[in-house]
Chain A
Amino acid sequence: MDRKLVKQKSEYRWIVERAGAMKVDGVIFASESLIAGMDNKVVEQVRNVAALPGIVGASYAMPDAHWGYGFCIGGVAAFDPDAGGIISAGGVGFDIACGVRTLHTGLKLRDLEGRHELLADLLFRKTPAGVGSTGRIKLRPAQLDEVLANGAPWAVEHGYGLPDDLRFIESGGRMPGANPAKVSDLAKQRQAEEMGTLGSGNHYLEVQQVVEIYDAEAAAAFGIEPDDIKISIHCGSRGLGHQVGTDYLKSMASCARQMGIELPERELACAPLSSDVGQSYLGAMRSGINCALANRQILTHLVREVFDEFQRSAAIRLLFDVSHNTCQEETHTIDKKPRRLFVHRKGATRAWGPGHPGLPAEYARVGQPVLIGGTMGTASYILVGTAESEHMGLSSSCHGAGRNMSRTAATKQWNGKDIARQLAGRGILIRTRSIRGVAEEAPQAYKDVSEVVEVSHNQGLARKVAKLVPLICIKG
């Protein structure tokens, strides 16, 4: 990045000063080296978001920020509906409520001894993953509307999970205010066979080993000990969410034009929260969130079925489930006054600090688990939200590593079979239906997740609790 575009205010905080149409400053959280590696387009997108109507506070970019569509990936921005604030489909992204869910297994590394291959094969057989895969649940339109209105509780009511699971999902697993009538028939058709599927690309189901604890108190509250075996699932709202994004990007572009909102990029398409289009998107986007939460709940059920067969003494329980592509209605204190805002997080994780009333009782004293996915060859991290993050970046943190190499370059450089063989040599088993997908997702094609996490930790956006490394990766 051209350093003249930003002003360093502290070691990890850089300002994009308000200029031109910007209504607020931009704030980028990054180290010197992360800033050096960021595209100038990140600054351009931070500026463009800062110019949108009704923005409050600042236009933020998290340490893993990179060039996205309209908003940068890693972008966070809040809008006040009472001040002409907007909602943007581009600010949420196509994979609505893509997120990470981490599960306890009650097992230790020694419990898997000599049986890694067996567990990998069982999980691979049970988890629908990759292009064209379908789930075992086929839903009629009326049933799908129930899923969209009720989210994970729908899955639990239909036998996919336990009532206690819901306490460890954002919003109790159900985003209120969903309006399935605002989801197109095309979106519903796309989802008819996709409930309980992982998807493809960077989506995965991993068996992980806890290798390091950084914060003993938070780790104890979350139930994390060294050598624990955890399972992490990274996926989203599948075809339904993608189609909702597609549909509303188009209608919002036309709405913005009619409302006289100038869009430097079409992907910034937005509509006032008070408008019909804005309200329709809100209802559809919340339906997409519920779709994602139900999807991860069904995948959890499949994991439980695997462990019933693999080791009956295992106890699969939720550690937490957090979405990193959303727009949520939240109350934040701005200039010492509480304000009701619509916070867009696109490739950013909500990170509530200790004492937040929305946390499950077990975590209230320490804060919210922040689940950061890595690559199949590196590490994932569990962080915890902080009190000070509220004032720094609307209680937000990074979400993952982010790519540093295109898919085309990755497939030219690596062969999927070689990558899988190398990882197997390091004790990481890959199961996939797409060997080309493994090359595209090669760990070397991603940035160093550790540095992104270090910056979040050192800046206080969220604090490190534990590091987990992959043992088995089911790739979509």
Chain B
Amino acid sequence: MWEHFAHQADIGIRGVGSTMDEAFAEAGVALMAVIGSPDKVRPTKQCVLACQADDPEQLFVDWINALIFEVAANHWFFSRFAVTIRDGKLSATGFGEPIDPERHETAVEPKAATYLMLEVRQRPDGNWIAQCVVDV
């Protein structure tokens, strides 16, 4: 599950899942929904992504920034992700296609993930959340 949360100037993205991997994957979809409509994507191609960091929060910022880079530099747009995190290393596959502003109903390009309202944690109900504000 993913959702957006309000921020005065920008927008917050939150992924929720039964594992940290799933929360990261869902937050990736939340980012795509900032940019446009991920449900309009035909996931015909796959993109391999990887990053690593010393702590889960920095890893999350790096993950979101890696996705921002793929959209900006390589014109990807994704509908879903499969994420595996082991020992501070993230490896992922993004399922998507080249961005089509009209069909994907694009709205805004994100500049970067910020450290604002950054959280990666397991909630008392056992689910994981991964979130931050994105500068747009």
Contact = CB atoms under 8 A, between A and B. Distances in A.
Interface of A: 39, 66-69, 73, 93-95, 130-133, 186, 189-190, 192, 194, 199-201, 239, 242-243, 245-246, 249-250, 265-267, 402-409, 433-434, 436-437, 440
Contacts, number: 116
A250 B64 CA distance: 14
B108 interface: yes
B101 A132 contact: yes
Given A239-B73, A406-B8, A266 B108 contact: no
Given A130-B106, A406-B6, 17 more contacts: A67-B8, A94-B111, A131-B107, A131-B109, A189-B69, A201-B108, A242-B111, A243-B69, A243-B112, A246-B112, A249-B112, A265-B116, A408-B6, A434-B107, A436-B105, A436-B106, A440-B108
B11 A267 contact: no
A31 to B, nearest CB: 19
Given A69-B115, A131-B35, A266-B118, A190 B107 contact: no
Contacts of A67: 8-9
Given A131-B101, A407-B136, A242 B11 contact: no
Contact of B106 (A131, A265, A409): A131
Contacts of B107: 131, 200, 434, 436-437, 440
Contacts of B116: 69, 265, 267
Contacts of A434: 101, 105-108
A433 B118 CA distance: 31
Q: Chain B contact residues (Cβ within 8 angstroms of A): what range? A: 35 or more
B73 A192 contact: yes
B69 A199 contact: no
A194 B102 CA distance: 19
B35 A407 contact: no
A249 B58 CA distance: 11
B72 A266 contact: no
B99 A131 contact: yes
Contacts of B135: 69, 93-95, 242
11 contacts: A67-B8, A131-B71, A131-B108, A190-B73, A194-B72, A249-B115, A250-B62, A266-B118, A408-B11, A433-B101, A434-B101
Contacts of A95: 111, 135
Nearest to A268: B115
Contacts of B7: 406
B10 interface: yes
Nearest to A69: B114
A306 B107 CA distance: 26
Contact of B115 (A73, A201, A265, A437): A265
A41 to B, nearest CB: 9
B91 interface: no
Contacts of B9: 66-68, 73, 402-403
Contacts of A201: 108-109, 136
B4 interface: yes
Interface in B34-72: 35-36, 58, 61-62, 65, 68-69, 71-72
Given A250-B58, A408-B11, A433 B102 contact: yes
B75 interface: yes
